[in-house]
Amino acid sequence: MSLERKPTQDELSRAPKALLHDHLDGGLRPQTILDLAKESGYSKLPASDAESLAKWFADAADSGSLEKYLETFEHTVGVMQSPSAIARVAREAALDLAADGVAYAEIRFAPELHLAQGMEMRDVVESVLVGFSQGEEEARELGKPIKVRTLLTAIRNLDAANDTADLVVEYRDRGVVGFDIAGAEAGYPPTLQLDAFEYLRRENAHFTIHAGEAFGLPSIWEAIQICGAERLGHGVRIMDDIAFVDGEAHLGKLASYVRDRRIPLELCPSSNLQTGAAKSMADHPIGKLAKLRFRVTVNTDNRLMSKTSMTHEFTELSKAFDWSLLDYQRVTVNALKSAFIPFEERLEIIEKVVKPGYLAL
């Protein structure tokens, strides 16, 4: 047997995985939303049972528009407005990812979105960290160990970026490993938060930027060359700078820079289909970008809205591109090489979990 063969479905489910791009408020269990809505008195849910609610989220997100996709978060954020609710969601996220074979995950959230019932941003961060710790401990007891770290996200059309960046630095040794900006790209370039990025660089803190998802190359260029992003959230539109002539790829200056500098692409295939960044899985740029040896990573983005998991993403890629076990190991190692945890921690997961796990398959 060899890693250079197409894996079975069972092997894909058991393969070790690493996840860099997953939103806490996009991965709730439908039943949890119902429970939290009942506890908090939230009355805007579009369905009253878990199955119907799950279907509504998937259908509503499948719009072909990033802006409409983002509207679904009104309901998940709406029920995440207390410390206990946020801790529950974080705990369940850790458990769900561990059950899916994820050995390392960076989960992001925007503290500023959870203040409607009186919490401060610091309270939100504390609650998330409590939930992740509980989930990690329970997963370990179940024989499914996972390491979960978090990114604090600022919403690009709001004004809490500087305060969020301060929290990243304050909590960097307690489980917060980086910063991000998210939200509608058009009209809100990353340079609007330049003060936050310059502060983070002075403090030697890590950050990624949502760029090149719904907006094109200018967004990617600003994120890298002006703001100093270490990774690109999605970055799928880098394909706009690659021309194919008679089957041969010709990289433009920006695409060449991204590949040469090994800037990680946090690609989220199923989500990209929903927001219109790709027409079908077979057409998704991840296939060509992987062949061109960009630093490609595979991610879920929003597990509820995209009705997905890492195993599902791997399965769809297997159908579209006939990836081998070696390809899946490569994107998993790519993710760990690009993680915002210390080098020795990354190396330990690669050498003690990922490589032995794939060899065992």
Model confidence pLDDT, tens digit, residues 66-120: 777 778 899 999 999 999 999 999 999 999 999 999 999 999 999 999 999 999 9
CA distances from 267 to 5, 182, 287, 289 (A): 23, 15, 11, 10
Contact yes or no for 346/339 (Cβ under 8 A)? yes
* Res 216 pLDDT > 90: no
Residue 264 pLDDT more than 90?
A: yes
**pTM value surpassing 0.85:** yes
Decide if 164 contacts 122 (C-beta within 8 A): no
Tokens read off for 260: 């040469």
Decide if pLDDT at 2 tops 90: no
Q: Which domains does the chain have, with CATH numbers?
A: 9-360 (3.20.20.140)
CA-to-CA distance for 335 and 330, rounded, in angstroms? 9
For residue 209, give the nearest of 184, 242, 182, 236 by alpha carbon. Answer: 182
Is the pLDDT at 276 greater than 90? The verdict is: no
**213 an active-site residue?**
yes
Q: Which helix (H) or strand (E) holds 148?
A: strand 147-155
Give the distance, in angstroms, between the CA of residue 110 and the centroid of all CA atoms in the same chain: 13
Spatial distance between the Cα atoms of 302 and 117, rounded to a whole number of angstroms: 24
Count of CA atoms in the C-beta half-sphere (13 A) of 276:
11
Question: What's CA 26's distance to the chain center, in Å?
Answer: 10
For residues 293-309, give the mean pLDDT. 97
Task: Report the pLDDT value the prediction gives residue 69, as an integer from 0 to 100.
Answer: 78
Burial class (CB in 10 A: 0-12, 13-18, 19+), 10: exposed
Query: pLDDT-derived band of residue 349, with 50, 70 and 90 as boundaries?
Result: very high
Q: Give the pLDDT confidence of 324-347 residue by residue, as tens digits.
A: 999 999 999 999 999 999 999 999
Statement: residue 219 has pLDDT above 70: yes
Cα 174–Cα 178–Cα 183 angle in degrees, nearest 5: 130
Question: DSSP string of 8-33?
Answer: PHHHHHHS-EEEEEEEGGG---HHHH
Asked whether residue 178 carries a pLDDT value surpassing 60, the answer given is yes
Residue 153, beta-bridge partner list: 180
Q: What pLDDT, on a 0 to 100 scale, did the predictor assign at position 1?
A: 56
Q: Does the pLDDT value for residue 137 go beyond 60?
A: yes
Position 193 pLDDT exceeds 70: yes
In which band, very low, low, confident or very high, does the pLDDT at 31 lie, cut at 50, 70 and 90?
very high
The answer on pLDDT for 206 being more than 80 is: yes
> What average pLDDT does range 117-139 have in this prediction?
98
Whether the Cβ atoms of residue 144 and residue 164 lie closer than 8 Å to each other: no
pLDDT value at position 60?
A: 87
Q: Confidence band (pLDDT; 50, 70, 90) for 238?
A: very high
The whole-number pLDDT of residue 110 equals 98
- Report helix angle 83-99 to 30-40, nearest 10: 170
pLDDT averaged over every residue in the chain: 95
* Nearest Cα residue to 19 out of 327, 228, 311: 311
43, 33 Cβ separation under 8 angstroms: no
Distance of alpha carbon 227 from alpha carbon 233, whole angstroms: 14
Which of 112, 185, 213, 222 is an active site residue? 213
Residue of 249 and 2 predicted with greater confidence: 249
- How many residues are recorded in the chain? 361
C-beta of residue 177 within 8 angstroms of C-beta of residue 106: yes
